[in-house]
Structure 1
Amino acid sequence: MSKYMPEIKGILKRHSIQLPEAIREASGIRIFGKRLKSFVFSTDVAVIKNTNADAVIAVYPFTPQPLITHAIVLAADIPVFCGVGGGFAPGRRVVNLALDAEFKGVMGVVVNSNTSNGVIKEIRDTIDIPIIVTIISEYENVKERIEAGATIINVSGAENTNKIIQNIRNDYPDFPIIATGGFSNDSISKTIKAGANAITFTPPTASEILSTIMSQYRDKYEKERFKG
């Protein structure tokens, strides 16, 4: 017999970003006692504050800065996993950023796909929170990433994402995998069936949401005008 789950909605919180229901099919990853299935991919504190995601992956295409990490952690009421670089930044800086992020209260750190295994090992020797390593190609050596200290693999391989996940699952049946699942329930279900434990979802931007709302307002005024 299935259990009935009561749902409570507020008037002001009713308008928020709801992630696709298919993500609930995922097994999730239990981190420090919290089961996480959905990760919203954003650094926008307004979006982060108004979503039903289980956690945040805050990665951005600029040099990571502690002030940005602090602002996101301060605004979020769900666990935060923040990017600490690993691409162009020197290894020592990446390690220091990871340690600072742990001190600021993030649940885990995310490193770029071109981060060296040596840097990952240094991070692993320095912090106690999970290290999420991004995999973008089926030709990457996942074994070396795991041996270097990766706690979770984050697969972001565009149209090859499911194939990459399946390849990893063949060698590592139980290793934690987060993956991008697209926008539809169907594509997300396929990613979960391929072996992803959790899904990252890229929400619409605040400007896109606002544009939709403004369009609805304009339609409303047009209808009222013709009624008059």
Structure 2
Amino acid sequence: MPKYVPEVKGNLRSHIIEVPSIIREASGIKVFGKRLKSFIFTTDVAIIRNNNADAVIAVYPFTPQPIITQVLVESADVPIFCGVGGGTTTGKRVVNLALDAEFKGAMGVVVNSPTSNEIIRLMRDTIDIPIIVTVVSEYEDVKARIDAGVNILNVSAAKRTPYIVRKIREQFPEFPIIATGGPNEESIAETIAAGANAITYTPPTSGQVMSNLMNKYRAIYKSESEE
């Protein structure tokens, strides 16, 4: 029988983005003693301050900048895992950005799929926080990633995500895996059943949330005018 969980909300902060409840079915990953099941995928400071996810995974499609890392870490009231490159940004700069992120308070760093194992080894020798590498294809050499010093795999392969998670899990039964959950509870459940320990959730944008809110306000005025 599921346990009853009391919930406390405020009048103003009850309007938040909530991750799908099915994510609670995941086992979670313990990082520095904190059990993390849901990761919200965003760099929007307003969303970072108004959601119920266990952690933030902040990766963006530009060259990582220390000032952005600082703002993201200072904005979050939950653990944050910051992107430090590996795609457009390469080489020793990735290592330096990772060290800077650790100094600024990030709980972990995320590198993109093209990151070489040599750079991962340099990062492992330099920082003491987890290194997450993104996996986008079943043809990637996961064992080489693990041997290089990666702590967590982040599988992001669209519709093939559950398949890749299952394939990795068969070879590495206990290695930590985060994975994208897809568009609905059914796809999230499939990803968890495949072996993902935690799920990344992409929230609606602030613009979409604002649009929904404005539609609600317009509906109120319309109903009042028709009375």
2:200 matched residue in structure 1: 200
1:161 is paired with a residue of what secondary structure? helix
Aligned AA (1:77): D
**Residues 19, 201 of structure 1: 8 Å contact kept:** yes
**Residues 20, 183 of structure 1: 8 Å contact kept:** no
Aligned AA (1:120): I
Write the deviation string for residues 148-167 of structure 1: whole angstroms up to 9, x where unpaired.
11100000010100010011
1:17 matched residue in structure 2: 17
1:77 matched residue in structure 2: 77
Residues 199-218 of structure 1 aligned to structure 2 (within 5 Å): 199-218=199-218
Aligned AA (2:176): P
Aligned AA (1:57): I
Write the deviation string for residues 56-103 of structure 1: whole angstroms up to 9, x where unpaired.
000000000000010011111000000000112231100000000000
Structure 2 Cα separation of the partners of residues 90 and 22 of structure 1: 37
Write the deviation string for residues 25-58 of structure 1: whole angstroms up to 9, x where unpaired.
0000000000000000000010000000000000
Q: Shift of residue 185 of structure 1?
A: 1.4
Aligned AA (1:136): V
Q: Number of paired residues?
A: 227
Write the deviation string for residues 97-137 of structure 1: whole angstroms up to 9, x where unpaired.
00000000000000000001110110011001000000000
Residues 2-151 of structure 1 aligned to structure 2 (within 5 Å): 2-151=2-151
- Aligned pair in 2 of structure 1 residues 107, 214: CA closer, same or farther (>3 Å)? same
Query: Which of 87-96 and 126-135 deviates more?
Result: 87-96
Structure 2 Cα separation of the partners of residues 103 and 30 of structure 1: 21
Structure 1 Cα separation of the partners of residues 32 and 191 of structure 2: 25
Structure 1 Cα separation of the partners of residues 3 and 123 of structure 2: 43
1:173 matched residue in structure 2: 173
**Residues 84, 98 of structure 2: 8 Å contact kept:** yes
Structure 2 Cα separation of the partners of residues 125 and 159 of structure 1: 35
Structure 2 Cα separation of the partners of residues 88 and 182 of structure 1: 26
Write the deviation string for residues 150-195 of structure 1: whole angstroms up to 9, x where unpaired.
1000000101000100110111000000000013111111100000
Structure 2 Cα separation of the partners of residues 3 and 162 of structure 1: 29
Gaps of 5+ in 1: none
Aligned AA (2:46): A
Gaps of 5+ in 2: none
Q: When the two structures are superposed, what TM-score results if normalisation uses the length of structure 2?
A: 0.98
Structure 2 Cα separation of the partners of residues 105 and 216 of structure 1: 39
Aligned AA (2:175): F
Aligned-pair identity (%)? 64
Structure 2 Cα separation of the partners of residues 217 and 172 of structure 1: 51
2:93 is paired with a residue of what secondary structure? helix
Query: Which of 157-166 and 216-225 deviates more?
Result: 216-225
1:222 is paired with a residue of what secondary structure? helix
Structure 1 Cα separation of the partners of residues 64 and 90 of structure 2: 12
Q: Shift of residue 2 of structure 1?
A: 4.3
Query: Which of 1-10 and 51-60 deviates more?
Result: 1-10
Structure 2 Cα separation of the partners of residues 222 and 5 of structure 1: 38
**Residues 40, 53 of structure 1: 8 Å contact kept:** yes
Structure 2 Cα separation of the partners of residues 178 and 59 of structure 1: 14
1:186 matched residue in structure 2: 186
